[in-house]
Amino acid sequence: MAVGGLGMLVVYWGTVARLTFWDLGWDVMEPVTYLSGLSMVILGYLWFLYQGREVSYTSVLDRSVSTRRYALYESRGFDIDRWIELVSEAKTLRKEISKIAEDYDERRWTDQDDERDAKQAQADEEVKEVRETTKQAESSSNEADEKDKGKG
């Protein structure tokens, strides 16, 4: 995607240079470049409104990775809600084990729990991202279906 974006910018630059210096001149091309730049700002703002994220390489990359991950989960039959249930159950069991270990003054359980909690926080963030992507993908497909019904 990054190389494709670079390619589009190079083609745009070449087209503007060709039209400005050889074919049409600056008097014609000045408003064209102004309006095309303004259009890019408007498209960036529309991206922000639709995605709820800024326009940056990382946000576009995160979006594409999340979409691919969701498609892979769906194609393999992975149940995200069931996985979330299992993770929360494991977290509850770890807390219970930790409480029992504290009764016996076992410090190694608390150290391991701290490490697991850090890993769990990271996993929770990934789950949250997958859920957001799922909701966005479903809403996008629903909107596309509604548009198709309206045209038909």
Q: Is residue 9 part of a domain?
A: no
Q: Is residue 15 part of a domain?
A: no
Residues in Cβ contact with 112 at an 8 Å cutoff, skipping those fewer than 6 apart = none
d(CA 38, CA 36): 5
Residues in Cβ contact with 92 at an 8 Å cutoff, skipping those fewer than 6 apart = none
Q: Is residue 122 part of a domain?
A: yes
* Sequential pLDDT tens for the chain (152 residues): 778 888 998 999 999 999 989 988 888 888 999 999 899 889 888 878 887 777 777 777 777 788 888 888 888 888 888 888 888 899 899 888 888 877 776 666 566 667 777 788 787 788 777 777 777 766 665 565 565 565 55
Q: Is residue 44 part of a domain?
A: no
Q: Is residue 18 part of a domain?
A: no
pTM beyond 0.85: the answer is: no
Q: Is residue 102 part of a domain?
A: yes
Q: Is residue 98 part of a domain?
A: yes
Domain that holds residue 102: 79-142
Q: Is residue 123 part of a domain?
A: yes
Total count of domains within the chain? 1
d(CA 131, CA 124): 10
Give residue 119's identity as a one-letter amino acid code: K
